[in-house]
Amino acid sequence: MKYVLICAITCLCFTSTAQKKKPKIVVGIVVDQMCYDYLYRFQHNYSSKGFNKIMSKGSNCRNVEYNYIPTFTGPGHASIYTGTTPNNHGIVANAWYDRSLKTIVNCVSDSNTKCVGSAGSIYGLCSPHRLNTYTITDQLKMTYPKSKVISISIKDRGAILPGGHKSDGSYWFDYLSGGFITSDYFESSLPSWLQEFNKVKNGYSYAKIWNPVLENESYSNSDNSKYEVVLPGKENAQFPYDIKSLIIKNSNFSLFTVSPFANTLLTDLALEAMDKEDMGNGEHTDMLCISYSSTDIAGHAFGPYSKEIEDMYIRLDMEIERLIKALDKNYGKNGYVLFLTADHGVVTVPQQLVDEKLPGGYLLLDSVLIRLKERSMSAFQADLIENVSNLNVYLNYNRIDSIQGLEKQEVVQVLTEELNKIPGIKKVVTGGGTLAHDDDKWVKLINMGYDSHRSGDLIIVLEPGYLPRSSVDPAMHQGTSHGSGYSYDTHVPLLWYGSGIKKQEIYRPVLITDIAATLVHMLNLQRIGAMTGNPIVELLQN
């Protein structure tokens, strides 16, 4: 009898533990271009029910980094959901030079698809066909076909890469109509609920005047900065922003996505998808992937120390609060798991760094290209540069082969020596097999982001605080970007909240690829494809 009782208790405990590890729904939130310090720098203006609730009652991984170069949106989303790096999943940038096509290709563009949801729109010709491995969402669908995966974003890549190859719906914003679309890779028509949603809730109906949501004295940053891009149709980079007027002036919805109202629209789409797709109520766990893009679009224009970005995150906190409230209501705290992270950070506007006597500056790419071509002509009597993209230099193999006795390595050596003379360039790394044998940190980061079919023959690493620019860009010293292996681009937030998630702060190093590896165990799945990440054990221990 005693033995039977012990077995019964053991089985009960095991069942209870298994249930905790299988939530009704997993909600993955990626905030595009969210620096780690935004959690703390703007914290005093956050409510107690958004970011602060997750931070105070969930698990906060405080030492999370990307372990590759380049840190862009496409590679970031792919790495989060595949649990591996670009050298395995193949998304080496948002766009790269395709040697066979002799042109730049978008990481999710697909000319073999058709737009679904907006007649004649070019923004729907997309699919995950360039993603070389599968995602945690793909594995969920393969293991439990009745599980539902929905993935949404303003950006096409922000919706497509998280949802993977087998999503039940991947939807992104259409700059032509102001609604959400997909491609026939996923489905032949939009679900009726999304068609109705687009009629009422869209870029035009949500556009209004963007003013600071709080009183001016509540903000840390000034609204009078010379480092911000002036939006088309505006005379200055200051509040207010009449978003509806800017849409009309520019005849498209691109400037709607600069505003926080695009985040609100996306949250409403997430809530609608949960309701209309009956998510979290099936036999197996469902997964909803949300990527907030406007933080990045505005971040490029205004920079991390702008009043606009501060206001953007105060408003985003309200969106997170709305999501948590809906999740608690629909599933209860023990019915869901939520994680929140970012696809990359951002560098301070380099001109601001220079003005404040900090290291930083610009590498003028057009001047670099001219210099490389001139050096190639003087050394080999031929222009052997085919393309320069994302600080990758692609050589013209056909021309090299046509010169008798010339080896590619000789060209690489000459051009590397020339590049190393240019101020602002820290290092030039040669693409190919030599990468794996170098112990230099920056070479290792490039190696993890390198694909022999998609990356260049030489990869340029800039000094800290530097950005590539064109000398003909009228806003060269305004706005900012990302892509480096420095901590301002690689160090991002990672918060977990919900079923079985303890209140804790984790300070040990965690890699972005560890997120999917952790979900494997929360959902009792097989490790996926080319996964290299490791589970965050602290989240799995009760």
Distance of CA 261 to the CA centre of its chain: 19
Question: In the structure encoding, which two tokens stand for residue 37, read together?
Answer: 């310090």
Measured distance CA(224)–CA(504) in Å, rounded: 39
Strand, coil or helix: 335: helix
Contact 239, 211 (CB under 8 A): yes
- Residue 514 φ then ψ, to 5°: -80, -15
Strands 95-98 and 64-65 turn out to be unpaired
For the chain, the straight-line distance linking the first and the last C-alpha, in angstroms and rounded, comes to: 29
Distance of CA 354 to the CA centre of its chain: 28
Contact 535, 513 (CB under 8 A): no
Measured distance CA(383)–CA(399) in Å, rounded: 8
Active site annotation includes 73: yes
Active-site residue (options: 10, 15, 17, 73): 73
Strands 510-511 and 64-65 turn out to be parallel
Question: In the structure encoding, which two tokens stand for residue 197, read together?
Answer: 């949603």
Q: Which residues have C-beta within 8 Å of that of residue 131, sequence separation ≥ 6?
A: 78, 82, 89, 90, 91, 161, 164, 165
| H/E element, 392 | strand 392-395
Question: In the structure encoding, which two tokens stand for residue 432, read together?
Answer: 């190919």
Measured distance CA(87)–CA(502) in Å, rounded: 34
**DSSP, res 333:** G
Closest CA to 497 of 16, 81, 23, 14: 23
Q: Which residues have C-beta within 8 Å of that of residue 373, sequence separation ≥ 6?
A: 383, 385
Question: What are the strands of the beta sheet with 510-511, ordered from one edge?
Answer: 491-492, 64-65, 510-511
Strand, coil or helix: 305: coil
Q: Which residues participate in catalysis according to the annotation?
A: 73
